Chain A
Amino acid sequence: MTTPAILPERGLADRLTALFWRHPRLLLAVLLTPPLLWLGVVYLGSLAALLLQSFYSIDEFSGMVKEEFTLKTYAELFRAQNLDIILRTLLMSAAVTLGCALIAFPIAYYAARFARGKWKAVFYLGVMLPLWSSYLVKVYAWKLILAKEGIITWAAEGVGLSMILNAILAIPGIGGNSLSTSPLGTFIVFVYVWLPYMILPMQASLERVPTSMLEASADLGASRAQTFRTVILPLAMPGVIAGSIFTFSLTMGDYIIPQIVGTSARFIGLAVYQLQGTAGNIPLAAAFAVVPIVIMLVYLTIAKRKGAFDAL
């Protein structure tokens, strides 16, 4: 039996395959047009609209937005009460990022280096499971856990550690009446909610560090601490930065957790929420929304300067 050198065309699918084979760029164009439209119009377009709003101002008598270019709204950000909000958000975001990084690293390291087969599945499930339940439910659950009548206070009393808990709550700036009404409580809930976003990129970057590289470091005389500092950390840095982008920006934009858990002192997210809603001051809300963007840009620039992406 002989087979032909060229197989017959089987219809539309083969015709399209042939078309894309002859014009590879056509396929790329077909694939890229919808997402680029989405990215360009919906995504960047709305961001541009937001930026534009922030250069408008509000008429103090009528409460109407004056569509004229001005930096007046930005100047308002520097009023003491607004600076306070920005500073508080910045500190909380930095603390949450650091807290997440410290807790996430050992977990990510274990998952990347040691977990195999079934344990890898358990790891992914363990990290992702909290993301499957409603965000609000989790936050309210934490409010109960952290409350004065909650399980933590109860457990501390049970094992005789109330003294320590009270001492921590007495620290000014961190403590408060109870955990659920203190900045420490807000911090704990933020760390809990954003932790998966730190673990996963960290784990991905650690997984790409071959074992032989750690062995090479030990082989050349490095102690564990030296290997960590000079090899593991620099190579994991892109993942740490990726994770910190998530935790940092998510904390800066969140407006629900600070309302439910904590001192009800305002954060950027809450300020934006209130300004665009009850106050109707869209320009100032937009200006506030620009702050996290600027902070992230500054943060990434510093990270790049420090060589955080050298391992990419």
Chain B
Amino acid sequence: MTAAVEFQRVSRHFGPASAPVKAVDGVDLTIAEGSFFAMLGPSGSGKTTCLRLISGFEKPTGGTIRIFGQDVSDIPPNRRNVNTVFQDYALFPHMNVRDNVGYGLMVKGVDRRTREARAEEMLSLVKLDGYGDRKPAQLSGGQRQRVALARALVNEPKVLLLDEPLGALDLKLREAMQDELKTLQARLGITFVFVTHDQGEALSMADSLAVFNEGRIAQIGTPAEVYSRPRTRFVADFVGSSNVLPPEVTRAFGGPAKWSSLRPEMLRLTAPDGVALSGTVTGLRYLGAGSRVTVALNGTEVAAQLPAGQPVPEQGATVGLAFDPAALHVMEGEG
């Protein structure tokens, strides 16, 4: 399979060469054609800059970017067959929805009738039939998002870039759009590259994902790999807020003297007598679908997630902790 996007030692540094701000620093990345790829990370981790390097709004200060095998170093954004759904949607306020969607065809010189027909097709693809005459200001956030999607797809891009496209939507709408995007991607077969800081979104939508931290990729893999076998402390904590255990605690938990990760949902509470691990309950958080209990063991705080319906201990109670030893994941990476 061809790589849709390939990064080789790509860097994007800002500011003076003596003290550069390394927004992206030596990133190697391969995105397979037809995949749904997520770039996950906290704000300032370099994920959006990576997206802008693909679209051409940023130029790398080092390394090579290839799109479908072609070096794009000297290709401006308008000549890359890559389209973006912007975070703020960036719809043109002076054009109606139909002209917005048909914009990419208009600048290519496609005649009015053809582009209007194509725009209508795209609008029905995103379930906005009959909205062509409205102005962007007359639409809701979710509808604008769909227009932005239709506008980007009308050009039949080789890669579709989505910059936190669901960030401005409320929870219910966001979940609906997640499903829709996933279905749309499967149907069109276009490579989607999706930037998000929401780990739940990345895990549930992506075929594979890259976790960014401070301009570098901390881990790349399928959602299951990244979740169950985080390579670094950062990944363990950022993706699913795992218990990150320092070497001495790992040993107390029955592992080697290395950093490890233990998912809160893998921990069970037991009676305090006759177990190796026991501690005091210092925090309780009700989550609806369960509860999260914080237990202090010899100065280390460990979170356990209890499924709904289980009895919840009281604050200050002494409890025992049990888990399947296989759930303790020892991390080979540092940092």
Contacts and interface: CB of A to CB of B under 8 A. Distances in A.
Interface of A: 210, 212-213, 215-223, 226, 230-231, 234-235, 307, 310-311
Contacts of A235: 92-94
A311 B90 contact: no
B90 A222 contact: no
A219 B94 contact: no
Given A226-B107, A230-B107, A219 B93 contact: no
Contacts of A218: 56-57, 76-78
Contacts of A222: 78, 103, 107
B103 A217 contact: yes
B294 interface: no
Given A212-B86, A226-B107, A230-B107, A219 B92 contact: no
A215 B90 contact: yes
A220 B86 contact: no
B83 A215 contact: no
Contacts of A219: 55, 57, 77-78, 82-84, 152
A223 B107 contact: yes
Given A221-B108, A230-B107, A215 B155 contact: no
A311 B93 contact: yes
A158 B149 CA distance: 61
A212 B90 contact: yes
Nearest to B108: A221
Nearest to B93: A311
Nearest to B83: A219
List 8 A-B pairs, minimum CB-CB distance, nearest first. A220-B104, A216-B90, A212-B90, A222-B107, A311-B94, A218-B77, A310-B94, A234-B94
A212 B107 contact: no
24 contacts: A210-B88, A210-B90, A213-B90, A215-B84, A215-B90, A217-B103, A217-B107, A218-B56, A218-B57, A218-B77, A218-B78, A219-B55, A219-B57, A220-B83, A220-B103, A220-B104, A220-B151, A220-B155, A221-B108, A226-B107, A235-B92, A235-B93, A235-B94, A310-B94
Contacts of B83: 219-220
A216 B95 CA distance: 14
Main secondary structure of the interface of A (DSSP, over half): helix
Nearest to B101: A220
Nearest to A224: B78
B202 to A, nearest CB: 23
Interface in B73-114: 76-79, 82-84, 86-88, 90-94, 103-104, 106-108
A217 B87 CA distance: 15
Interface string B240-276: 0000000000000000000000000000000000000
A218 B55 CA distance: 10
Contacts of B92: 213, 216-217, 230-231, 235
Interface in B50-83: 55-57, 76-79, 82-83
Contacts of A231: 92
Given A216-B84, A216-B86, A230-B107, A223 B78 contact: yes
Contacts of A215: 55, 57, 77, 84, 86, 90
A241 to B, nearest CB: 13
A230 B78 CA distance: 15
Nearest to B52: A215
A210 B91 CA distance: 10
Contacts of A221: 78-79, 104, 107-108, 155
Given A212-B87, A215-B55, A219-B82, 7 more contacts: A215-B86, A216-B84, A218-B56, A218-B78, A222-B78, A235-B93, A311-B93
A308 to B, nearest CB: 10
A223 B84 CA distance: 16
Interface in B281-302: none
B12 to A, nearest CB: 16
Contacts of A216: 84, 86, 90-92, 151
A180 to B, nearest CB: 43
A217 B93 CA distance: 13
